[in-house]
Structure 1
Amino acid sequence: MATSEGQPTGRGDRAHYAQLLDHAGRTTVGLRAAPDATDTRLWGSGVLIAPGWVLTCAHVLAASDGRRRETGPAGVFGVVFGGRVVSARWAYDLSRPDPEAGPAAARADLALVRLLDPEIEHPCAWLSDQPATLLEDAYIFRGHDQSGGGGGGVAAGAGAGGAGSVSGSAAGGPAEERVIRESEGGGDGVRGAQEAHDGRGADAVPAVPAAPRTPATPVDPFIAVRFGARDARGLQFGSDVRVTPGASGGPLLDCDRGEVVGIVKGRHQQDHVGLAVPVTALRGLGPEHLVVGAEGLGPDPYHALMSLHDRWHWAGQDLGRSGGPTWFDAQHAIMAGRGRLWGVQERLQALDLLARLPAPRDPLAVEAAVGEVLDRGERPGAWSLRTWRDGHGALYQGSDPYTELRTFVHYLRIVAQLTADEVRDVPGEQAAAVREEAARLTEFVQAKAVVLQPQDRRRIGPVRRRPRSVLVEFEPLFYDEGGHELFNWSVSEGYGQGQWLRVDVQESAGGVPFEEAREQVLRRLGGRLLRADSDAGPGARVRLEVAVPEGRWHTAAGQWEVAASTRRTARLRPVGPGRAVILRDQGRREQVDPAWLRRWQGLAAAPELQALRLPPRAGARPGAGSAEAIWRLLEKADEGALPALCHTVAEGFGRDAVGVALDTGFPAGLWPARGHGEERECDASCEEFHRGVRELLHDSGGLARLPELVRKLRAQAAEAAEEGTHWARDLVLLYDDPEDPIPQLFTDRPQVSPR
């Protein structure tokens, strides 16, 4: 621990960390008015974290009364480092509330500043990928008024990387007691439009790090502190250290790991402990935090920012690079001799490889991968892990070196497999580039796994893909002498993009009647669904898909009852209220019809879905030539149209109408399993059905949400929880995705391994 403003008493000492503190000083900047402004007083500090990006506290960019600082045209202000003042603008404000998330949403006293010159070269600090814990050797930036006296602002080489030429006193900056009040208020008074500006985009390749400048005068910009607890206020450090004006926005360093773990916020008024915002709070960064008029990092700014950060640090170790020692060199010197099998060099390369992959589609995939590797069932919590980088940071468990190596290898193996699976059969250059990066990560994992014990290599090697659905398929064979159609059946697990693994099959020369085939399936389906749920991850409910041939489109699979557990005497429960259930056409397979694909893409892109009633008006009795009329109606239908029938689809007009809809490419439709026949005209119950379908589609939010919305309707109807939903009890949803076609027929379908 550190005892006062100076001497740590842990295992480290200041000389041991001299190189790291020097790098930290060069990446710590001062923030002030625009470069050509007459007022050169510094507002506070910031940290260079990626090419063109500075991280600071949001309250540093606000005046003492909460309003925005005085800036130049279009919101330009100055960033001081390397003996110069460069132009910048405020880009992201994490202290602002998200109006869609509500007042209870997490906010952080953090802001991102963008340098306006995209070609400017500068060093970058290393941001930790793991939550801060108790630190033995911690340092904070002393503050601008500590190193340069009253007239220097920031002394050359200190804190802000050598801004000694800047005149003015930091004494005019906000006192830390006042800063705390401003940051707790969230900076609501600093909203306001800022003009768009030029800068580096999210996909920019990191520039090779610039060589550090040599300090003009020796300085001591950092002081040792005791690091204490972490609570709702942030990271707390020792109350015996005075956090001086100008220190806000500077780094809190964990020198034992060589990382920035927090951004100094100030000193609390009551108990006088120092406070810092953990850098992991950046995981909350989203597009909603973009300042009005600013140029951002795209739809996922956190992933884009950290990818720039990690790729920049890897590029700093390129052979032949001109320049001095890097931040990694300082980390490596600190960690040398500790016997780690997963050291800073492995971390550097792993995070660079992860930075080149697309962000995970769902943060739960990261949490599930971490949970699988650590053999724990609980999840770290919603949104606590957002990217593959965050998952990497969750694996430091203080284990022995071998266990730690095995853990990281296992995690990266899962990430490589999941990423490759996402684009396995996707055409195009972008998907090919992702496959190439996933292959590079796999090669890296293989190289690191060679020292693992044989049993661990066997366990880690086959990474099981997580199923997204369970498919039951009934294959018609022929009719027996009594006129009964006979069937074979199969059950497959689906992994998306037409990838299936057949896990159960009844295949014989004779087949069985449909009702018997269905009963055989139901006796095994409950356990199969439960196993797929378990493989899919904590809390998952995979979708049930049922592929039936023409004449079986009235199959009410949502009302099937299956075993609720794996007990031999388990109760039977209807499957529809608890999971999405959809019907698929058994006649459509891997040969995707262009009309089918075009209709699917049109429905998926439609801003709103509309019910297309068949027949088009109540009371219509289809007669001769009605199939031709339906054909013309469907061919001319808008892209957002989805057929809805109240007639039975088992025979007559309803069966013909569904056949025409499928032949004209429609991938989705809605009807009751027990619709009325042609002998009865439409009545009030039909009007209620069509009204309910119109309301369902109008509020659906798009095609992708339809299976889950129908599930909720089934659940409400089953429980009679909402008046007017009984029409949905036997609702059938045809949902046939041509981008995930069902497998080939039994006899010519090769086994598809999920590993």
Structure 2
Amino acid sequence: MAEHERAVNVFDEIVRPSLVRIAAPGGGYDPHGAHYWGSGFFIAPGWVLTCAHVVGKGEAAVWRGERALGITWQGGETTGEVVLAKPRPADPEEPPYRWEFPDIALVHVPDALDAACVWLSERPLAIPADVSLHGWSRETGDLGIRHGVGTAHATDGKALLLRGSLPVEGCSGGPVVDLKHGAVIGMNKGRGEHEGAAVPITALRELHDLRGGEIIHTVLREHDRHHLRRFRSTAAAGGGWTRAQADLRKGAPGFLPAARAHLFGRLAELPPPAGPGEVMALVDEVKRRVLHSEYQSPVEHDPRTWRDGAGLLHDLPRHETGRDRDVESVLLYAAKVVRHLAGRGGAERPDAAALTALAEWIPTQAESAHLAIREEIAEVLDLGEVPAPVAGFESARERPAGHARADVLVEVDPVHYGDRYPWRVKLLFDGRGVEPVCGDDRGVPRRHLRETLREPLARALRLGDAGEHLASVEALLPRELFDEPLDTWRLAPDDADGDDFDEHSMALGERRIVVIRDRKRLDRPASPEWRRRWKAAVRGPLAVVPLRGEVPASGHGPGSRRETRRAAYARLSDAEDGTVPVYCGPVGSGDGLDAMAAALAAGHPLALWRRCGQEHSDCMEFHVRAQELLGRADGADGLHRHIRALRIISMDPDATPDTVAEAAWAGSVAVLFDPPDRPPYDGVPLQVPPRIDGNGT
């Protein structure tokens, strides 16, 4: 108990210089708090984190980007402006009645570059956790700094739930400190009758996804630089956060706080990762090296910085020989970051001196590590070929060079309740392992699928992308949804600025491979003809067979002879291996649906069609052009590049008339690309993760 109380007092003293009170400009020193709005804390020199509802008390001026916030801390008084916030009122004149999670705001305070800063946790949250709560309050009358102790005992997917000493009025926006590890894990939001709520510090990642959110990388870089400078400085009273953390860890194994401060400070000098998948790919490689070759994390994390990746390597089980896997894993990860960034070019190329400094520092920390890990690190830092497995380690299943970390699987089940389609979004590793990201087993109506899946899909794509290598999208759909235009979906909300041109505003099919797979035939083992035809499709060449026999000869006119489903099945069964059914109309209903069912029964793994209606006269041209396309593809895998190029041209509003005419036949083209033996496997129940909310949590 005495140690616990000592830790509370230590971190109360360390937190105080970082605490700010937020008020109307000029009202910060009001002793009675008449103009006081709430608390906040410095996370980097010149940058304050607080709750959106705290800064929202400044009304419209705050949301117009004015320096409308009064900021007072131990170093003085100045003003600040909100740079990022979530939620942010759509209309600055009408703030929301209720501030939903994540309820977070980043404030720029350019006149506070000498401010002390808290240490932000890089670890995944471990619950329960003993915590201390800090902030300014006027609950006892005059404004003053208050702190209390409690327990973060649970999470509801969005909030940390607190028991014990709960946040009091005015503490909103103040930090919540994990007393075991000495790091800020959250931010006070409010209290209910029996428990309080805090915003997890990981909510910073949601700001990263907003327009202008790349500034988060700059802020976190300055955070780590600050703490390394402070640790090195003998002027820092008591050594600050790093030395306090070291006192907590006395005698404990693992990657020690001093080494961590040095590592994070060096990582801060390097270009940031392009997305969480780039970090997770390296974390996965390390865990497969030091744990076992088939390791796959049971939980998908969302790291945005290289420091986050190191945090995911804490608390690994010790080796049976007693070796400390924490140290070995973090240093091996750091070495892999060096090797990974050494291959970057152009604007993302790292500073050579910074990269060299990190590469030279890593071996100095590995002296106590097992010989095998030292040899492994040396080979990785040699920046030559990928090293062979070292004695004493499991052989790793490394991500193939030039591939995404994972592809994204969108599963939609047939209607279960009324008109509602259950759905799941998963990561698909190496074409064989799946990891759920999120889903809803109650489902949504078809008209809401696009809006509902936008955030989960964006999150999964971030986790699947590895640098410039982009995840593909595989949509496992009921046949009546085959005409759903997934390739035209955008990750940007419908109300986003129409003048933007970036990866979020572009249609999915312009940047990525987007294909459709059949949900129904995966309910039973793959048929022999399906397997045979897939092997032929991979070998190539590919050729056209009409999905419906009366098209293109007589088109879709009222006088055309209608081919029955069994007649279509007989003809498509007799088609040569390597042929691809092609149709110049939709397949989600009517004759197209009947013919598609026949093609799938006949074992065809590939098909091309367009989602336009029946009223057109270019059926023959569509089939001729499709034959030319398939001839150029030279096998199933070669099809993707040509389809994507056509989609880009057909979606280009500024293309020349000749270019548009060349690609017009492929407008709204859809692709069935459905190999057998692709997850989910025969006989394996589909996993349904918990329903998510609108924030993708």
Shift of 1:278: 0.9
Which residue number corresponds to residue 35 of structure 2? Answer: 41
- 1:70-89 correspondence runs (5 A): 74-82=66-74, 84-89=76-81
Counterpart code for 1:412: A
CA–CA distance in structure 2, aligned partners of residues 466 and 325 of structure 1? 43
The match for 2:6 among 12, 15, 21 is: 15
Distance 1:392 1:432, change over 3 A: closer
Partner SS, residue 108 of structure 2: strand
* TM-score under structure 1 length normalisation: 0.49
Partner SS, residue 307 of structure 1: helix
Distance 1:432 1:113, change over 3 A: closer
Q: Does 1:284 align with 2:206?
A: yes
CA–CA distance in structure 2, aligned partners of residues 322 and 689 of structure 1? 75
CA–CA distance in structure 1, aligned partners of residues 540 and 68 of structure 2? 52
CA–CA distance in structure 2, aligned partners of residues 360 and 576 of structure 1? 40
Which residue number corresponds to residue 342 of structure 1? Answer: 255
Task: Give % identity.
Answer: 24
Distance 1:439 1:62, change over 3 A: same
Shift of 1:241: 2.7
Counterpart code for 2:362: V
Which residue number corresponds to residue 114 of structure 1? Answer: 108
Question: Could you tell me whether the CA contact under 8 Å between 2:243 and 2:258 is conserved in 1?
Answer: no
Distance 1:571 1:456, change over 3 A: farther
Distance 1:714 1:70, change over 3 A: closer
Partner SS, residue 31 of structure 1: strand
CA–CA distance in structure 2, aligned partners of residues 571 and 71 of structure 1? 58
Which residue number corresponds to residue 243 of structure 1? Answer: 167
Which residue number corresponds to residue 373 of structure 1? Answer: 286
Which residue number corresponds to residue 447 of structure 1? Answer: 364
The match for 1:234 among 143, 146, 159 is: 159
**Post-superposition CA distance 1:466-519 (Å, at most 9, x none):** 999xxxxxxxxxxxxxxxxxxxxxxxx9957xxxxxxxxxxxxxxxxxxxxxxx
Which residue number corresponds to residue 341 of structure 2? Answer: 419
CA–CA distance in structure 1, aligned partners of residues 429 and 167 of structure 2? 56
CA–CA distance in structure 2, aligned partners of residues 531 and 245 of structure 1? 48
CA–CA distance in structure 1, aligned partners of residues 274 and 329 of structure 2? 23
Partner SS, residue 62 of structure 1: helix
Distance 1:459 1:281, change over 3 A: same
Question: Could you tell me whether the CA contact under 8 Å between 2:65 and 2:83 is conserved in 1?
Answer: no
Which residue number corresponds to residue 723 of structure 1? Answer: none
Question: Could you tell me whether the CA contact under 8 Å between 2:21 and 2:36 is conserved in 1?
Answer: yes
CA–CA distance in structure 2, aligned partners of residues 24 and 300 of structure 1? 27
The match for 1:56 among 46, 50, 75 is: 50
Question: Could you tell me whether the CA contact under 8 Å between 1:88 and 1:114 is conserved in 2?
Answer: yes
What's the Cα RMSD here?
A: 4.9
Q: Does 1:30 align with 2:30?
A: no
Distance 1:362 1:380, change over 3 A: farther
Shift of 1:36: 6.2
Distance 1:697 1:381, change over 3 A: farther
Question: Could you tell me whether the CA contact under 8 Å between 1:129 and 1:390 is conserved in 2?
Answer: yes
Partner SS, residue 122 of structure 2: coil
Question: Could you tell me whether the CA contact under 8 Å between 1:367 and 1:380 is conserved in 2?
Answer: no
CA–CA distance in structure 1, aligned partners of residues 22 and 89 of structure 2? 24
Q: Does 1:274 align with 2:274?
A: no
- 1:301-312 correspondence runs (5 A): 301-312=215-226
Question: Could you tell me whether the CA contact under 8 Å between 1:258 and 1:330 is conserved in 2?
Answer: no
Distance 1:397 1:34, change over 3 A: same
RCO higher in structure (CA 8 A, sep ≥6): 1
Distance 1:362 1:247, change over 3 A: closer
Counterpart code for 1:126: W
Larger Rg computed on CA atoms: 1
Counterpart code for 2:14: H
CA–CA distance in structure 2, aligned partners of residues 263 and 15 of structure 1? 22
Counterpart code for 2:261: L
Shift of 1:52: 0.7
Q: Does 1:407 align with 2:329?
A: yes
Question: Could you tell me whether the CA contact under 8 Å between 2:54 and 2:172 is conserved in 1?
Answer: yes
Question: Could you tell me whether the CA contact under 8 Å between 2:131 and 2:151 is conserved in 1?
Answer: yes
- 1:159-238 correspondence runs (5 A): 159=145, 221-238=146-163
Which residue number corresponds to residue 259 of structure 1? Answer: 183
Distance 1:339 1:13, change over 3 A: closer
Where does structure 1 lack aligned partners over 5 or more consecutive residues?
Answer: 1-8, 100-105, 160-220, 291-297, 469-492, 497-529, 544-569, 582-681, 704-709, 720-755
Counterpart code for 2:240: W
Shift of 1:124: 0.5
Counterpart code for 2:253: R
Partner SS, residue 34 of structure 1: coil
Question: Could you tell me whether the CA contact under 8 Å between 2:171 and 2:188 is conserved in 1?
Answer: yes
Count of residue correspondences: 430
- 1:627-666 correspondence runs (5 A): none
Distance 1:576 1:115, change over 3 A: farther
Question: Could you tell me whether the CA contact under 8 Å between 1:134 and 1:227 is conserved in 2?
Answer: yes
Question: Could you tell me whether the CA contact under 8 Å between 1:32 and 1:44 is conserved in 2?
Answer: yes
Counterpart code for 1:78: G
CA–CA distance in structure 1, aligned partners of residues 8 and 670 of structure 2? 64
- 1:414-493 correspondence runs (5 A): 414-421=336-343, 423=344, 426=345, 431=349, 433=351, 435-463=352-380
Shift of 1:349: 0.9
Counterpart code for 1:390: D
Partner SS, residue 243 of structure 1: coil
- 1:552-631 correspondence runs (5 A): 574=534
* TM-score under structure 2 length normalisation: 0.52
Question: Could you tell me whether the CA contact under 8 Å between 1:30 and 1:46 is conserved in 2?
Answer: yes
Shift of 1:231: 1.9
